[in-house]
Structure 1
Amino acid sequence: MNAKTSSAGEEEASGTRNETLGEAKRRQVIRVAYVIAALDLTFLFMQMGLMPYLAKSLGLDSVGFGYLQTIFGVLQLVGGYIFGRFADQFGARAALILSCASGSILFLLMTLSTNIPLLFLSRLPGVFMHGIPGAQKVITDVTTPSQRAGALGKLGFCFGVGIIAGSAVGGVLSTKFGVYVPTYLGLVGSLINTLIAVIWIPSQTKPKSDHPMTEHSTSQSGSLFSIREILRLMKFPGVMEVFTVKVLAGFPIGLFMIMFSIISMDFFGLEAVESGYLMSYFGVLQMVVQGLVVGKMAGRCSEMTLLRLSVFVFAGVGLGMALMRTVWHYCIIAVPLVFAFSMLATITDSILTKAVPSSDTGAMLGICASVQPLTRTVGPTIGGLLYKQFGVSSFGYLQLMVNLGLFVYLLKSKIPLEEMKSQ
């Protein structure tokens, strides 16, 4: 199966998809996916902000908390691809239900975490907590390739909502009513999210024509984790190149964000409340950029142009980070940073799901979802070394050099994306 055949087949299947669901039903399903994603991210950021205080109340020191975070990162890293394969074999609805139910179990275990072993045990359900890839899978199934980038881009709006609502609600509840109260809310909310997925997401988001039993279909493989399947997907035209750009372009800024809590205290001199305000500022930027900018640009420019643009802006962000001295400088840099980060994530996800057969879009989204957990797993060691040895400016210079190299590569390379451009 070549890329053009895959793209043409997906466009034809997209017509069947719209006929199967109906335009009104399709839009409703997309809106429900956005709601599920927003709630999932709200609970995720709530528990992420809560974990340091819960761990401290149980007597876990900073080294132990680092192990706790690393375990969660590894579980998310391994689980991303498994979750994607599960979505391909059993459908987007089943995958979303699995993710929301896993979130419910995680919060249930957190409510019972009266000692450190139980706190570590509460991280285990994180292996299947992938609400964003689940929502992406739904959107990928019910949209045409030309609609996909814009629809996926709006998920960033949900990300902004999650940052703001999750941080605010978790902080207020834990301060006023105790550290365990947000876990009760997370448990109830995750159960409600599970019911939403059961009731409003169709059991079949992909038409029957999208499930051919061919030698390329993941549904023929019994294993949910297969290195051979990952390598097979990477062999499709353009996939390895675009995925490499996705990983490398965002890796330096990922290191910076991992160290941000320390940088905000030591370098910017911020208090905890001020750091919370800064995170809310990021959430608002994310909502504005994803809601008003990314989708419109995706409909007017080719995806290769937007990919080059995001990498170029990332290089400029690196230069700004290398020169920044105050938190106000960072607030200015945050505008192009959020734009480049959002555009890169949206466009690469759109390109990669178009480059593989429709029966493999879940696995491809799962691979994409593993990028951030990979950074969170290896990032603390690398980021800590850079910060200790070379200071904050080292993150900016690394960002600048990596993305300038990628920009030159994208200008000179001939990645076969013609058949994957938005029509």
Structure 2
Amino acid sequence: MAFIMITVLIDMVSIGLIIPVLPLVVGTFTSSPTEQAWWYGVVTITFGIANFFASPVLGALSDAHGRRPVLLLGFSGLALSFIVTGLATALWMLIAVRVFSGAMQANAAVASAYVADISAPEERARRFGMLGAMFGIGFILGPATGGLLGAIDVHLPFFVAGALAVLNWLYGWFVLPESLPPEKRQPFAWKRVHPFAALSGLSRLEGVGPLLWVVALASLAQFTLHTSWVLYTHFKFNWGPAEVGWSLFTVGAISAVVQGWLLKHMLARFSSRTLATVGLTASALTYLGFGLATEGWMMYAVIVVGGILGGGAQAAIQGLISNAAKAHEQGATAGSVASLNSLMAVLAPMVATPLLGLVSHLKATDVLMGLPFFFCAALQAVGASVAYRFFRRRAAHEAAPSA
């Protein structure tokens, strides 16, 4: 577990470095806030489309050949994409390299499969929480550093991120052990890795079908937030790379504390189903709080309260889905979930970009400025409702035999 946690930490630091500056790099090729928002949406969509088609392929390859070689492939692809992005001199170059980066980046899905390989079913929710804590720490170190570096030069974080990806490749090559023994591997088959076929297989996992709607809605809300955050806070609070970096630092710090320490205590006291339902409801209120905030400090208050109350939902749902999959299907299952998330990453900019365009000309005091986050709150509220009804039906079904 320690090996994969270090791998994910380095990976997330490198990815987090570019978050505060990517929209600003897009802005260097555009002439207005509306045009910047539109082209940033295009860059995000192309990344998501590539990731949607590639994730189930890479997940299935990890089932066939092991997790380690696929992780190494992802690290090398990330390193190349970061460096080329930093060198981009035209918008088409930026779009092309994001397509390549999206196709290569299945590291999170393969890391989840790695954790499933080495964990008993009853340990998976807690260990997915530990993995989430590494994501959180990566978001402590990455965006804050990226914001500070971006204040010097908006291209500098990309070169630092590329160097970290190379470091991760070296760590993976010399240190990271393989988690999937040969006897548990499954031959690669193209018919199983078509993204829509992969999603269909995911829907047939016993007892978790409706949770896919919950994952999709929560993911669409989260990616809409990701797409909107940098430009929204710039439009409303006039934040630059440094301010965005510190806000994401706070997100990462709360995530690390909740998933790395608090989650294990919550799982000892409450069921995964309860944590998922409460967490989804709290997340809906968090998005509403972001949209209603009138001062920059309020965003930090919402991050802290919302992160504590809603931080356990993702790990709980991920554990339930993983436990429904067989041992030799963990890579494909994780890849399919990643593909579902990538599909939402494609849809999110199609929603977020028009919403940002609608509010970009409004006064900062106009309540309609929060429109992107009000949309996220509605999505998360529907997801919480679906989860609550699903868990209630499951509890009634499980109680019926004993009755």
User: What TM-score, normalized by structure 2, do the two folds share?
Assistant: 0.82
Q: Which residue, 254, 275, 278 being the options, matches 1:285?
A: 254
C-alpha contact (below 8 Å) 1:246/1:344 kept by paired residues = no
In structure 2, what residue type is equivalent to 1:221?
Answer: A
In structure 2, what residue type is equivalent to 1:298?
Answer: L
Matches within 5 A, 1:89-238: 89-123=64-98, 124-176=100-152, 178-203=153-178, 205-208=179-182, 210-211=184-185, 219=187, 221-223=189-191, 225-226=193-194, 227-238=196-207
Distance in 1, matches of 2:223 and 2:91, equals 28
In structure 1, what residue type is equivalent to 2:278?
Answer: L
Structure 2 partner of 1:37: 8
- When residues 269 and 251 of structure 1 are mapped into structure 2, their CA distance, relative to the original with a 3 A threshold, is same
Deviations 1:101-128 (A, max 9, x none): 1112213423543344433332213212
Identity percentage of aligned residues: 20
Structure 1 partner of 2:365: none
In structure 1, what residue type is equivalent to 2:3?
Answer: V
Deviations 1:251-301 (A, max 9, x none): 335434432233323444545533332222212111111111123323443
C-alpha contact (below 8 Å) 2:85/2:97 kept by paired residues = yes
C-alpha contact (below 8 Å) 1:317/1:396 kept by paired residues = no
- When residues 93 and 223 of structure 1 are mapped into structure 2, their CA distance, relative to the original with a 3 A threshold, is farther
In structure 1, what residue type is equivalent to 2:118?
Answer: V
Distance in 1, matches of 2:235 and 2:150, equals 25
Of 127-136 and 248-257, more deviation after overlay is shown by 248-257
Matches within 5 A, 1:16-415: 30-57=1-28, 62=36, 63-123=38-98, 124-176=100-152, 178-203=153-178, 205-208=179-182, 210-211=184-185, 219=187, 221-223=189-191, 225-226=193-194, 227-268=196-237, 270-317=239-286, 320=289, 324-339=293-308, 342-385=311-354, 388=358, 391-392=369-370, 394-395=374-375, 398-399=378-379, 401-403=381-383, 405-414=385-394
Unaligned residue ranges in structure 2 (runs of 5+): 360-367, 399-403
User: What TM-score, normalized by structure 1, do the two folds share?
Assistant: 0.79
Deviation at 1:396, TM superposition (A): 6.4
Deviation at 1:401, TM superposition (A): 4.2
Q: Secondary structure at the match of 2:394?
A: coil
Distance in 1, matches of 2:157 and 2:296, equals 30
C-alpha contact (below 8 Å) 1:349/1:368 kept by paired residues = no
Deviations 1:331-362 (A, max 9, x none): 33323432455322211211111101111111
Of 335-344 and 147-156, more deviation after overlay is shown by 335-344
Distance in 2, matches of 1:110 and 1:88, equals 31
Q: Secondary structure at the match of 2:205?
A: coil
In structure 1, what residue type is equivalent to 2:184?
Answer: D
- When residues 92 and 392 of structure 1 are mapped into structure 2, their CA distance, relative to the original with a 3 A threshold, is same
In structure 1, what residue type is equivalent to 2:265?
Answer: K
Structure 2 partner of 1:27: none
Of 89-98 and 227-236, more deviation after overlay is shown by 227-236
Of 363-372 and 331-340, more deviation after overlay is shown by 331-340
C-alpha contact (below 8 Å) 1:315/1:401 kept by paired residues = yes
Distance in 1, matches of 2:61 and 2:346, equals 23
Deviation at 1:240, TM superposition (A): 1.5
In structure 2, what residue type is equivalent to 1:40?
Answer: D
- When residues 109 and 224 of structure 1 are mapped into structure 2, their CA distance, relative to the original with a 3 A threshold, is farther
Distance in 1, matches of 2:130 and 2:201, equals 30
Deviation at 1:316, TM superposition (A): 4.0
Q: Secondary structure at the match of 1:206?
A: coil
Distance in 2, matches of 1:56 and 1:383, equals 17
- When residues 341 and 257 of structure 1 are mapped into structure 2, their CA distance, relative to the original with a 3 A threshold, is farther
Distance in 2, matches of 1:189 and 1:417, equals 49
Distance in 2, matches of 1:43 and 1:318, equals 26
Of 291-300 and 409-418, more deviation after overlay is shown by 409-418
CA RMSD of aligned residues (A): 3.0
Deviation at 1:34, TM superposition (A): 1.0
Q: Secondary structure at the match of 1:202?
A: coil
Aligned positions, number: 381
Distance in 1, matches of 2:74 and 2:60, equals 13
In structure 1, what residue type is equivalent to 2:228?
Answer: M
Deviation at 1:173, TM superposition (A): 3.5
Distance in 2, matches of 1:186 and 1:252, equals 26
Of 290-299 and 31-40, more deviation after overlay is shown by 290-299
